[in-house]
Amino acid sequence: MRSSSFPLSQKYLDFINTVDNVDADFLEGTTASGKTTVGAGIKFMRMVSRSHKKMHIIAAKTTGIAEKNILQQDNGILDLHRNVRYYGNGDNDNKLPHIKFEGKLIYILGYDNRDKWQLVLGSQFGCVYIDEINTASIDFVREVSTRNDYLMATLNPDDPSLPVYDEFINRSRPYKKYAADVPPEILKELNQKPVPKWRYWFFTFCDNLSLTETDIEKKIQSAPPGTKLYKNKIQGLRGRATGLVFSNFDRTKHVISKDVAKQFVKNPTGRHQNEYFLYFSAGLDTAYSQKSPDTISMSFIGITNAGRCIVLDERVYNNAALETPLAPTDTVRNFVKFLERNRSKWGFARDAFIDSADQATITEFLKYKRENGCVYNFKNAWKKEKIIDRIINQLNWFADAGRAPCFYILDGCKTYIHELETYSWKEEKDNEPEDGNDHMINSVQYAWLPFEVKIGTGRRT
């Protein structure tokens, strides 16, 4: 390898030198952090050199992108390694684009072309590099992941609902030395069952020592603060870059702990407490399909005398993930238990509001109340307010221009937080949200709709 013309941070040096007891490296972070240059150009080629297998893979969206961003850029593979020969049109022995390096062959694949990558993936490989794995065909990722000794993948933060996160990225773990460098929002999502020897690395501008302060400032100024583009590229946080409905939702501002919310539980003596929970409500959205990600979603909220609304709890079931699917009778029992649990924790929500489109479940609730003398009232959700108007209200409640937000979520409500960060407008329409990633959103709306005039007094549009 030629002497690189860029300096390496200690983190990158540790990354490059971690070659034993590692089966996969996942590199996430901000734009221009050096992930591709160091990952593909240095460590990946080092792993290829150490491998006993002859065949390896570098994959990008297209072979052209691989050539431009990985092979031919300044400090790319061809720049760093004198002994590499690239055959962009193949040769007599291998018709696909490939590199010859130390007697080994590295195929250059575009994962957008299923026909071509299927021609290759009948073999076992030593090392596989996937550029921007978040944009790759998930079928390609699944297939190639079982056919290698070592996998490296880079990505810029994207929509956390993509299957590549829970199936691959979120099963890796950072080294303790660098765990504090991972944003807390992402660290919480590295929560799937870990795979031994799968390592996670988070890199930022600060890890790319070739960037000057002027370079970094220019990149920061290129994205408007507060946008998802800024969140993804500059802060390195996950979330869809465009089309989000709740574009001003921010975990750092709107997600709070249980201890913070507990301060609003009314003091029995009524002394020394200016703000306290005045109303409690609950919502239920249902979906019983065994073939979709749609969920049975329960929510519990509290509203203070100062107009602050807090989503205090959630419970979500998905029949597709259950060995024994739930029926409406099961939902009734589960929802009553949910209400009782929150009554003991927070307070009494006498009225609960259920998706009025599901009259079968409502009938079961009324039957349950009739036969058991239940203290709760089960009512049809208030759906007269249009969805767009509900969205406008919540956007207004999340806003903090010159005043504090008045809508918050407990950090344990992970499904609702996830939906707020993924619920999007339809691509072909600019005034209609998608029919998906919205069951907890609907449930929470059912809970607050009867009380919306009590939330954020003077803020409603």
pLDDT tens figures, 39-72: 999 999 999 999 999 999 999 999 999 999 999 9
One domain, residues 62 and 113: yes
pLDDT on residue 426? 75
In a domain, 348, yes or no: yes
In a domain, 241, yes or no: no
Query: By the 8 A CB rule, do 369 and 300 touch?
Result: no
One domain, residues 450 and 370: yes
pLDDT on residue 446? 97
Q: Which CATH number belongs to the domain containing residue 197 in this structure?
A: 3.40.50.300
- Residue 93, C-beta contacts closer than 8 angstroms, at least 6 positions apart: none
pLDDT on residue 18? 96
At residue 359, the 3 state secondary structure works out as: helix
One domain, residues 295 and 417: yes
pLDDT on residue 123? 85
DSSP-assigned letter for residue 15: H
Residue count of the chain: 461
One domain, residues 342 and 449: yes
pLDDT on residue 227? 63
Gap between the Cα atoms of 64 and 61, Å rounded: 8
In a domain, 460, yes or no: no
- Domain tally for the chain? 2
CA dihedral 318, 322, 327, 331 (to 10 degrees): -60
Q: What is the phi/psi pair of residue 26, to 5°?
A: -115, 120
| Positive/negative CA dihedral, 129, 134, 136, 140 | positive
In a domain, 23, yes or no: yes
Beta bridge partners of 299: 283, 314
What H or E segment, with its residue span, contains residue 311? strand 309-317
User: Does the structure show a pLDDT above 70 at 7?
Assistant: yes
Residue 63 C-beta-side C-alpha neighbours within 13 Å? 18
Q: Kind of pairing, strands 377-380 and 198-203?
A: unpaired
- Residue 451, C-beta contacts closer than 8 angstroms, at least 6 positions apart: 279, 281, 303, 309
Q: Kind of pairing, strands 173-174 and 277-285?
A: unpaired
Both tokens of 205, joined, read 């501008």
Domain coverage including residue 264: 251-454
In a domain, 2, yes or no: no
Question: Of 213, 236, 264, which residue sits at a domain end?
Answer: 213
DSSP-assigned letter for residue 138: H
One domain, residues 283 and 408: yes
Say what the pTM is: 0.64
pLDDT on residue 3? 43
pLDDT on residue 104? 96
User: Does the structure show a pLDDT above 80 at 457?
Assistant: no
Gap between the Cα atoms of 178 and 149, Å rounded: 24
Query: By the 8 A CB rule, do 406 and 253 touch?
Result: no
CB atoms within 10 A of CB 356: 13
Q: What ranges make up the beta strands (E) of 146-276?
A: 148-155, 173-174, 198-203, 255-256
One domain, residues 407 and 339: yes
Identify the band that residue 310 occupies on the pLDDT scale cut at 50, 70 and 90: very high
One domain, residues 46 and 103: yes
- pLDDT average, residue stretch 397-413: 87
Q: Which CATH number belongs to the domain containing residue 354 in this structure?
A: 3.30.420.280
One domain, residues 209 and 258: no
In a domain, 232, yes or no: no
One domain, residues 199 and 72: yes
Question: Which amino acid is it at 358?
Answer: D
Both tokens of 113, joined, read 């072309």
Provide, for the chain, the percentages of residues in helix, strand and coil under a 3-state DSSP scheme, each rounded to the nearest 5: 40, 20, 40
- pLDDT average, residue stretch 323-347: 95
Ranking 51-60, 211-220, 275-284 by mean pLDDT, the lowest is 211-220
User: Does the structure show a pLDDT above 80 at 226?
Assistant: no
User: Does the structure show a pLDDT above 70 at 452?
Assistant: yes
| Positive/negative CA dihedral, 107, 113, 116, 122 | positive
Query: By the 8 A CB rule, do 29 and 206 touch?
Result: no
One domain, residues 262 and 148: no
- How far is C-alpha 353 from the geometric centre of its chain's CA atoms? 29
pLDDT on residue 228? 65
pLDDT on residue 270? 56
In a domain, 225, yes or no: no
Percent of the chain's residues with pLDDT above 90: 68
**102 vs 168, 256, 322, CA distance in Å?**
30, 55, 51
Angle at CA of residue 289, ends 286 and 290, nearest 5°: 135
In a domain, 17, yes or no: yes
One domain, residues 292 and 364: yes
User: Does the structure show a pLDDT above 80 at 394?
Assistant: yes
Both tokens of 351, joined, read 């009225």
One domain, residues 301 and 200: no
- pLDDT average, residue stretch 164-175: 96
pLDDT on residue 6? 72
